[in-house]
Structure 1
Amino acid sequence: MEAAKTANPTPALAISGDLMVVTGGTHLLAARYTEATSDDLFTYDCSTASKKPQENQGENSKSSGKGSHDILACAFSISGTYFVLSDDSKQLVLFRTKPSWECLSIRTVVRRCTSLVITAAEDKILVADKSGDVYSYSISDPEKSGIVELGHLSLLLDVVLTPDDQYILTADRDEKIRVSLTKAPHNILSFCLGHREFVSRIFVIPNYPDLLLSASGDGTLRLWEYKTGKEVYCCHLSSLDICEATKNNMKCTVTKIAYYSEGSCIAVLYDCVPTVSIFQLDASARKLSCKQHISLNHKGWDVAFETTGGLWVLQENMQTPLLFYHPTDGQWQPATEENALRKMSNYITENWKFFEGSVGRESTYQNLYKASFDNMAVYLQKKNERLQQQKNKRKDLQPESNGEMKRIRMGTPSL
């Protein structure tokens, strides 16, 4: 059975060292944002990549389907040496970024990708798809077909690895977070159960690798000791008064999570709420504390920290597509005069046609919420209608005078 469809993908932002990548529609834009030169932009168009010959695809080739070529997911390797993306036409494109950008391979995945990650050893790519499976693709043999590693019975929304590559963690539409052994994925270590809606994002804390952060359509952020499946903290986002929209019972679903190790700071971006929230992790107390809300004038698409703690926000606006916030005295303050900000903003503005198809799109997760049916209310309404009908019928049969009623009860014939 075909998995439920998600909304069209939104543009994405990824940073590794001094390299920044922005994806929009079918295109990738990449540049070293800290350098002063303005002629180092690398672009890639997935719609033209499909025209290249694809060899050694094995049985996967028969599953290739026609799509829009919009980029669905992308990721850097830990060192930034590799970058991988997957598009709506089921292409998996692997790049080497050093010393310069080079496309190593274009392979076909079996189903459309929802999330992907590169192992810390930088030898494999794990791809989660809409049918609930996770496939692995070799980096050392960039033309080799994928191998299925594990499967769910539900649409997968995210996949991550622990820093030591020992465990694969997957999140699905049916509220589950599954922890599996990487070397034997059929061996399930634990489940993290507690969310009431789909799990939109999961993130293993790099400097506290025994902790997992998860976000869900139920409007919560939760911390887990994932090896035992124990929930240790839950934050109800609606209680934070993030913005005026949340006071009107709008759902606070987290779409993006970024992390800055030095201060144990977590930035989250919401679906349909133009705000970035900054939390600080207290690992010893196993809790999160909200430090700051950054209001945006436009819809946020993605968020990322750089190595020095600066916070980048990609948003839905041609004039100011990028925002940059610098940490000052424990708060992130806007910095508008940064050369890197001007350079990368110009690149995006000049190529805004790649992003136009994403402007004005609705909620990323609108089709994933549970549909509620209040059968009891319908039953009670029909019951009340029946009782009222019976009451009206008794009134129609009731004699008109009390004397008439009395004679009937005593059995006396009326005159």
Structure 2
Amino acid sequence: MVLLKKKNDNLMISSGDCLIICDLENLSDKFLKIPEPVLPQNLTKGQVAVLKKEIRNVTSFDFYNENGYTVVSTENKQVVVYDKHFNIVKNFIVNRAASKVRFTPSNDVLVADKTGDVYLYKLNSDNEKPQLLLGHLSVILDMTMSECGKYIITCDRDEKIRVSHFPNAYNIMSFCLGHREFVTRIKVVKNILVSASGDGTVRFWDFVKGEQVGLINTNDHVTDSNLMTAFAKRMDEEKVDVEVLPVMDMQVYGDGSKLYIAVSLYSYSDLQVYNTILSTLETSFVMNINVGSNLFSYHFSDVLYILSDKFSAFKLSDEKFVESSVPFLENLYDKFKELLKQNEDDSIIKLYKRKFDNVQEYLERKRQRLEAKIKL
């Protein structure tokens, strides 16, 4: 999995257990590998083997703008916090592998794990024991906070979006219910929550009330109908009935009164861009951007950065996003292209719920028992 994010003048790319930091102002780059974990005492040999795996693939990272900190989580239950010079501030182990990490407004760290729990780690406290904030009944796929800092918002594999008070997250403000498949991404812009799902939709919510206020059917703008046919056939072998391409990722960029939304769909070679007027939530389709056969990752800010078979940048001009030549990014891709290569990401396929006919299996076992009795 390749991740791409921008903070101020820095672009950060994670691939496997490596981090690449690109300084867009000084046109320089830095390469880091995730360090070995600092292990707590009294671990079993099995626990040590898991935690000290040589490959410590990055699952999530986030920035804190106030002091330039960066937090990174890995598959081997490790969380690393770096300062603005990328010196290690904290290097600790969590109980379960993290699916998402986020900073709070007070520079503490939220860790959502793959069993559905969210813990709060206070970086400036001598007490290293985390505080359990909330729990879902399935894996949390994304997590964010409201711009006011009063709410923590989480989404999961079971189509649910939960809005909880922060830090007293046992006090649930609302649920945003309406998606028919797992919710892959959530973003907050002012008082609006934007979510994307395996059901192929992007939805807008008044998250305080838990009310849906807008909807985009992304598959309406897929130009190749054969993709859905091929995907449905593949998922039929997995015993899953699907009718749309799922949303892999969604990024948003607010430009005053407008909100631009970039959406990537499974196996689709185009990145979709939409334009939403925030006052009315009236949405229009802007364009498809062809990204080639391998879309690794992208980040949407004042510039749309896309990492695929090349590293490209698109700038807004006359309501369209136009590719802009950035020699530094082109050279950066050539320098690290072997590291950035990856196979097709099939992790999203595992999120669909399989349907099993347990009745037929029960009847077959019953028939076998009856036949065994007759023989006796």
Q: Counterpart in 2 of 1:361?
A: 344
Partner SS, residue 349 of structure 2: coil
Gaps of 5+ in 2: 232-243, 361-376
Letter of the 1:355 counterpart? L
**Cα separation, 1, equivalents of 2:8 and 2:173:** 34
Q: Counterpart in 2 of 1:82?
A: 69
Q: Counterpart in 2 of 1:264?
A: 259
- Output one character per residue of 1:93-118: Cα deviation in whole Å (capped at 9) or x when no partner: 10111xx2221111111111111211
Is 1:350–2:335 an aligned residue pair?
yes
Q: 1:175 aligns with which of 159, 163, 169?
A: 159
CA change 1:79–1:330 in 2 (3 A) is farther
8 Å CA contact 1:268–1:303 kept in 2: the answer is: no
**Cα separation, 2, equivalents of 1:228 and 1:179:** 10
**Cα separation, 2, equivalents of 1:145 and 1:272:** 42
Q: How do residues 214-225 of structure 1 correspond to structure 2 at under 5 angstroms?
A: 214-225=195-206
Letter of the 1:203 counterpart? K
**Cα separation, 2, equivalents of 1:331 and 1:76:** 29
How many pairs align? 343
**Cα separation, 1, equivalents of 2:197 and 2:59:** 20
Q: Bigger radius of gyration, 1 or 2?
A: 1
Is 1:304–2:299 an aligned residue pair?
yes
8 Å CA contact 1:269–1:302 kept in 2: the answer is: no
Q: 2:3 aligns with which of 12, 36, 45?
A: 12
Q: What is the CA distance between 1:80 and its match in structure 2?
A: 6.7
Q: Counterpart in 1 of 2:130?
A: 146
CA change 1:139–1:164 in 2 (3 A) is farther
**Cα separation, 2, equivalents of 1:233 and 1:19:** 33
CA change 1:374–1:280 in 2 (3 A) is farther
Letter of the 1:261 counterpart? G
Q: Counterpart in 2 of 1:92?
A: 79
Is 1:45–2:33 an aligned residue pair?
yes
Partner SS, residue 351 of structure 1: helix
- Output one character per residue of 1:130-169: Cα deviation in whole Å (capped at 9) or x when no partner: 1000011123349834221111111111111001211011
Q: How do residues 235-384 of structure 1 correspond to structure 2 at under 5 angstroms?
A: 235-246=216-227, 248=229, 250=231, 251-262=244-255, 263-306=258-301, 309-315=302-308, 317=309, 320=310, 322-336=311-325, 338=326, 342-356=327-341, 359-372=342-355
8 Å CA contact 1:119–1:161 kept in 2: the answer is: yes
Q: Counterpart in 1 of 2:363?
A: none
Letter of the 2:348 counterpart? Y
CA change 1:188–1:343 in 2 (3 A) is same
Q: How do residues 61-80 of structure 1 correspond to structure 2 at under 5 angstroms?
A: 65-66=50-51, 67=53, 68-79=55-66
Partner SS, residue 366 of structure 1: helix
Letter of the 1:210 counterpart? N
Partner SS, residue 264 of structure 1: strand
Q: Counterpart in 2 of 1:120?
A: 105
Per the normalisation by structure 1, the TM-score is 0.76
Structure (1 or 2) with the greater strand fraction = 2
**Cα separation, 1, equivalents of 2:24 and 2:319:** 25
Letter of the 2:100 counterpart? S
Partner SS, residue 128 of structure 1: strand
Cα RMSD for the two superposed structures: 2.7
CA change 1:214–1:79 in 2 (3 A) is same
CA change 1:190–1:242 in 2 (3 A) is farther
Q: What is the CA distance between 1:374 and its match in structure 2?
A: 7.7
Partner SS, residue 365 of structure 1: helix
CA change 1:58–1:92 in 2 (3 A) is farther
8 Å CA contact 1:120–1:163 kept in 2: the answer is: no
Q: Counterpart in 1 of 2:87?
A: 102
Partner SS, residue 283 of structure 2: strand
8 Å CA contact 2:114–2:140 kept in 1: the answer is: yes
Q: Counterpart in 1 of 2:96?
A: 111
Letter of the 1:255 counterpart? M
8 Å CA contact 2:140–2:154 kept in 1: the answer is: yes
CA change 1:143–1:361 in 2 (3 A) is farther
8 Å CA contact 1:257–1:303 kept in 2: the answer is: no
Q: What is the CA distance between 1:58 and its match in structure 2?
A: 9.9
Letter of the 2:245 counterpart? C
Is 1:187–2:174 an aligned residue pair?
no
8 Å CA contact 1:120–1:164 kept in 2: the answer is: no
